């Protein structure tokens, strides 16, 4: 079975199958066309997995093309981050990275061709007048007084635009199509505008820049794209896409197909809003682990495979919908459950003293994964004083509480059975130290005389454990659809980051950043790529062990 057959199909793949069967195409070329005006987010991952995935499965090619026609908002930092993110997701583009700006000379030539055919004119109405003349959905537009200029005059004026002889907003080039079209994009759309702005790729060569609709279809055709996949909001623009290609001399006719955007609950997806979060320092940069940018997810501990799996599970359709955050989380949880080594960490430590144990360290062997023996074992130090989780001890409790209780036994994970004897408290009644005895005959086996020990708790040795900071993340917003709020920044969850100081077992000292571990009974974590070092460990919680979010009171709006 080929890769294309192995994957669940969708309407795009059905179109491709038909085009190949009909002989319309013999190979497939797609492109991913980001505008370098921000970092990529999880929505882009959907488009990346679709475009690169289709190319891979059909032994075709996918280009990476920066759609860089808006120099004022774009920069090289974004270009570099986008390349890094695409590669990190596991994809590689065909040949060199491309830029729409590579085609500025050719685009200029095609604009001249449209003018020569009487299909474009230089407009001198102001931007406001242009808007006013355009009409509305219920009323046709009006013709501009400049619409009937001669070809010669238009050629000369367009040349003047290019030579910098018009100020910004004083002239633009428009296609001459149909001011009464039911599709607003067909009412003499602007093709070129004047902008005296330095461009990150072309420098100061140009002071006129082509618009998206004119640029995109021609760039697709020049690259021999067969299937140009974009999101639904470009549905109407398809008329213009086809019109431009029909009216210029170019020998390739790519087809545009639209699919629905990914929307995720409790997040915002537009780069403008993400940019605002960064600019106003409501988050710590584009790669803040709470951001659903690719770089944020990566820093949080998401794996490329888990994001690809997510894109696979959500599928590709034409229906707009909103995906629950839990579906993204379950993808990374499934991946890490299978592939992440286990370790022990105590996030909210309380001291436990094993009174019948001699001083000195005993090294115990612990499996790195409960059901993948090939992942090996590691040595864990055990000693007279250990840290356990504060919530794992109670002076008294009913049978449902399967942890440590005074006078009762519990197993220390990978170690012995201990029995709580007594505890110390401070003046306020808070427990400060727990005293236990241990049964040295319970390593790797049940205690004798029929004692049943059901509970297991995790721990780390007090002397050998390393101090660590744990960053626990929650959703960045308090409402499912922050984008619909009057001011989405006001719906930020003030508790989206909680920091705890605790301890990890010493084997964690030099773990690579971003590599996922399961801290047993606690969750999946990775060392932070910016702030963690072997002397000051910082771990990000990627996701909890189970999906408990909806069960926490107050989390689901009633
Ligand atoms: P944003 O609105 O977030 O700024 P955009 O569409 O302006 O996104 P581009 O850089 O132009 O961002 O997007 C590159 C490609 O990614 C486009 O083909 C676009 O359709 C696709 N894309 C962007 N957001 C999503 C999304 N939420 N779901 C699916 N595809 C998306
Ligand atoms: Mg865009």
| Cβ of residue 162 lying under 6 Å from some atom of ligand 1 | no
Sequence-ordered list of residues with C-beta below 8 angstroms from that of 484, at least 6 positions apart, any chain = none
Per residue in 265-308, pLDDT tens? Answer: 999 999 999 999 999 999 999 999 999 999 999 999 999 999 99
Structural domain harbouring 193: 104-214
Nearest ligand, CA 78: 1
Q: Do 305 and 200 share a structural domain? A: no
| CA–CA separation, 362 and 370 (whole Å) | 22
CA 319, distance to chain mean position in Å, is 21
- Whether 351 maps to a domain, the answer reads yes
Query: Given this model, what pLDDT does residue 108 score?
Result: 98
Do 324 and 357 belong together in one domain?
Answer: no
Decide: helix, strand or coil at residue 286: coil
Ligand having the closest approach to the CA of 275: 1
From the CA of 262, give the closest atom in ligand 1: 28
Q: Residues 330, 477: one domain?
A: yes
Distance 34 CA to ligand 1 centre (A): 7
Residues 112 and 187 placed together within one structural domain of the fold: yes
Last-in-domain residue among 458, 476, 497: 458
Indicate whether 484 and 337 sit together in one domain.
Answer: yes
189 close to ligand 1 (CB < 6 Angstrom):
no
Q: Is 402 a catalytic residue?
A: no
Q: Which ligand is nearest to the CA of 42?
A: 1
Q: Please, which pLDDT band fits residue 555 given cuts at 50, 70 and 90? A: low
**Is 98 in the active site?**
no
Q: Is 261 known to be catalytic?
A: yes
Q: Which of 35, 124, 362, 464 is catalytic?
A: 35
Classify burial at 353, counting beta carbons within 10 Å of its beta carbon; exposed 0-12, middle 13-18, buried 19 or more: middle
The structure tokens listed for 127 are: 């931007």
Please give the backbone phi and psi of residue 103, each rounded to the nearest 5 degrees, phi first.
-105, 15
Residue partners of 420: CB distance under 8 A and separation at least 6: 393, 404, 405, 406, 407, 408, 410, 434, 435, 436
Q: Is the CB of 516 under 6 A from ligand 1?
A: no
- Report CA dihedral (154, 160, 161, 165) to the nearest 10 degrees: -140
Question: Last residue of some domain: 458, 484, 504?
Answer: 458
Q: Measured between alpha carbons, how far is 466 from 440 in angstroms, rounded to an integer?
A: 25
Residue 192 shares a structural domain with residue 288: no
Please indicate, yes or no, whether residues 428 and 355 belong to a single structural domain of this protein: yes
- 393 strand-pairing partners: 404
DSSP letter for 511, please.
P
pLDDT of 1 strictly over 60: no
Give the residue, out of 12, 30, 31, 34, with the most ligand 1 atoms within 8 A of its beta carbon, to mutate for a pocket test.
Answer: 34
Distances (CA, A) of 330 to 45, 85, 309, 320, 333: 17, 21, 10, 22, 5
> Would you say the CB of residue 35 lies under 6 angstroms from ligand 1?
yes
Question: Are the C-beta atoms of residues 387 and 354 closer than 8 Å to each other?
Answer: no
Residue 485: strand, helix, or coil:
coil
Whether 486 and 527 map to the same domain: the answer is yes
Residue 52 lies in a domain: no
Per the structure, the count of domains in the chain is: 3
**Residue 262 Cβ contacting ligand 1 at under 6 Å:** yes
Q: Is the pLDDT confidence value at 7 over 80?
A: no
Q: What residue spans of 176-317 are helical by DSSP H?
A: 212-222, 237-247, 271-279, 294-300, 304-314
**C-alpha to C-alpha distances, 26 to 59, 264, 308, nearest whole angstrom:** 11, 36, 27
Residue 482 lies in a domain: yes
Which residues 6+ apart lie within 8 Å of 97 measured at CB? 64, 65, 66, 83
| Whether residues 497 and 549 fall in one domain | yes
- My answer on whether 338 and 350 are in the same domain is no
Please indicate, yes or no, whether the overall pTM of this predicted structure exceeds 0.75.
yes
Choice between 451 and 268, residue whose per-residue pLDDT is larger: 268
Catalytic residue among 13, 149, 187, 271: 271
Distance (Å, whole) CA 287 – CA 487: 22
- Active-site residue (options: 106, 170, 195, 261): 261
The pLDDT value recorded for residue 449 is 82
Q: Does a structural domain hold residue 541? A: yes
CA-CA-CA-CA torsion sign (299, 302, 307, 310): negative
Q: Write out pLDDT tens, residues 490-514.
A: 999 999 999 999 999 999 999 999 9
70-127 tens-digit pLDDT:
999 999 999 999 999 999 999 999 999 999 999 999 999 999 999 999 999 999 999 9
């Amino acid at each position: 079975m080929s890769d294309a057959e192995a994957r669940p199909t969708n309407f795009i793949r059905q179109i491709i199958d038909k085009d190949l069967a009909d002989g319309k195409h013999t190979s497939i070329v797609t492109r991913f066309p980001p505008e370098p005006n921000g970092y990529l987010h999880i929505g882009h991952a959907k488009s990346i997995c679709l475009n690169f995935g289709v190319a891979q499965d059909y032994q075709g090619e996918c280009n990476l093309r920066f759609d860089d026609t808006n120099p004022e908002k774009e920069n090289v930092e974004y270009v570099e981050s986008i390349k890094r993110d695409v590669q990190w997701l596991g994809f590689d583009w065909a040949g060199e990275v491309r830029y729409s700006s590579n085609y500025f000379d050719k685009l200029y030539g095609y604009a001249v061709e449209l003018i020569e055919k009487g299909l474009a004119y230089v407009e001198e109405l102001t931007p406001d007048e242009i808007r006013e003349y355009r009409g509305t959905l219920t009323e046709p537009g009006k013709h501009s007084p400049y619409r009937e200029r001669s070809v010669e005059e238009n050629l000369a004026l367009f040349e003047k635009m290019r030579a910098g002889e018009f100020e910004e907003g004083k002239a633009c080039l428009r296609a001459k199509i149909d001011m009464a079209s039911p599709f607003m994009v067909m009412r003499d759309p602007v093709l070129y505008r004047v902008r005296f702005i330095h461009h990150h790729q072309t420098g100061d060569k140009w002071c006129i820049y082509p618009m998206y609709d004119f640029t995109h279809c021609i760039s697709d055709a020049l690259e021999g794209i067969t299937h140009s996949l974009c999101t639904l909001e470009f549905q109407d623009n398809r008329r213009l896409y086809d019109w431009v290609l029909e009216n210029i001399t170019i020998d390739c006719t790519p087809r545009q197909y639209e699919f629905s955007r990914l929307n995720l609950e409790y997040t915002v997806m537009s780069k403008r809003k993400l940019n605002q979060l960064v600019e106003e320092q409501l988050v710590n940069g584009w790669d803040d682990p709470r951001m659903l940018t690719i770089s944020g997810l990566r820093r949080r501990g998401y794996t490329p495979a888990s994001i690809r799996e997510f894109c696979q599970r959500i599928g590709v359709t034409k229906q707009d919908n909103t995906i629950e955050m839990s579906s993204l989380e379950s993808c990374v949880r499934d991946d890490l459950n299978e592939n992440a080594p286990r370790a022990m960490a105590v996030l909210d430590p309380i001291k436990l003293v094993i009174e019948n144990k001699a001083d000195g360290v005993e090294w115990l062997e612990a499996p790195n994964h409960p059901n993948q023996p090939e992942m090996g074992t590691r040595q864990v130090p055990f000693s007279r004083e250990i840290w356990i989780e504060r919530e794992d001890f109670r002076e008294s409790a009913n049978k449902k509480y399967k942890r440590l209780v005074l006078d009762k036994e519990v197993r220390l994970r990978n170690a012995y059975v201990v029995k709580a004897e007594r505890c110390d408290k401070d003046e306020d009644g808070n427990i400060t130290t727990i005293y236990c005895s241990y049964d040295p005959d319970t390593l790797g086996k049940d205690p004798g005389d029929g004692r049943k020990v059901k509970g297991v708790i995790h721990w780390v040795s007090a002397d050998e454990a390393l101090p660590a900071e744990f960053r626990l993340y929650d959703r960045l917003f308090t409402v499912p659809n922050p984008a619909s709020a009057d001011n989405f920044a006001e719906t930020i969850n003030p508790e989206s980051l909680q920091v705890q100081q605790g301890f990890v077992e010493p084997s964690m000292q030099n773990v690579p950043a971003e590599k996922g571990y399961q801290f047993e009974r606690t969750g999946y974590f990775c060392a932070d790529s910016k702030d963690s070092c072997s002397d000051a460990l910082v771990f990000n919680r990627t996701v909890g062990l189970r999906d408990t979010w909806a069960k926490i009171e107050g989390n689901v709006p009633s």
